[in-house]
Structures are given as structure tokens and as C-alpha cells.
Amino acid sequence: MKRRPFGAGGPEVAVIGQGTWNFPSAGKGVDAAIAALRAGIELGMTHVDTAEMYGNGRAEELIGRAIAGLPRDRLFVVSKVLPANGTFPGVLRACERSLRRLGTEYLDCYLLHWRGAHALDETLSAFERLVDDG
């Protein structure tokens, strides 16, 4: 799998990632989706994209199952905060919930899913705090 630096001097990231927007949240498809995600990772598609809104957090839980036991430093995990949670404390709480669901101590990239009604400087201040806190 081809890899390229993420940003200026950032880590090497697989150029093809795996999105989880339509990840099944229940039923027979869950095990197959987890297996497919895990197979993709084993083939080098280590960039995994999700969001707190996908399945109301269920996608993050299932991704957590899929990545459990894998070397975390070999993955590039991206999640997104909903605009409704775009306040300073809202971003911090949403990130903690995402981390808990994913079963990881950090995200490699955390995004605002789309622009919302909250002041962007407040959202960005929360992102800066998350970076400072590791």
C-alpha cells in the first residue's frame, strides 16, 4: 500500500483509507464488517475514518473491536465531532466519548464534521487543548 506524509512532516499514512459511514450497527452484517475492516488493515489500509454520528457512536465501538490487539502506532484513526458539540466543553466531552468507544488513548486526526452554529474559534480552541493534552 502506498503511503504519504500526512501534512508537513507528519506520519506516513496509507493513501487509501477505510470509511465507516454506513458500517452496520447490528445484525449479521456486523461480524462481516469487522472482518472486512480487519482484512483491509492487514493488507495495509491502516487509515480508518469514522465519526461520533455514524450509528450514534456504534461504528466507533465496532471499530474498537476491529482494532483491538493491533499495534496502535501502525494505525491512523480519524474521527469527527458533530457541529452540535462544537462548544469548547462539548468538543472535549465528545472526544472522550469517541476515545472510550474506540478503546484507544488518542486519535491521529480529529475533525469538525461540518461547520455549525458555534463560534469556530471556540471549536478550534478545544482542538488545540486536545493536542496540548496529547
Query: What is the rounded average pLDDT of the residues 32-40?
Result: 96
- Report whether CATH 2.40.30.10 matches the domain 3-132: no
Choose the weakest-confidence range: 24-28, 49-53, 58-62, 119-123. Answer: 24-28
Q: Which three cell numbers stand for residue 107?
A: 486519535
Q: Which three cell numbers stand for residue 51?
A: 465519526
Residue 25 has a pLDDT of 85
Distance CA 73, CA 29 (A): 28
Residue 55 has a pLDDT of 93
Q: Say whether 54 is catalytic.
A: yes
Q: Which of 20, 37, 50, 54 is catalytic?
A: 54
Residue 26 has pLDDT above 90, yes or no: no
Residue 82 has a pLDDT of 98
Tens of pLDDT, residue by residue over 38-83, are 999 999 999 999 999 999 999 999 999 999 999 999 999 999 999 9
Distance CA 14, CA 17 (A): 6
Domain boundaries defined on the chain: 3-132
* pLDDT classification of 123: cutoffs 50, 70, 90: very high
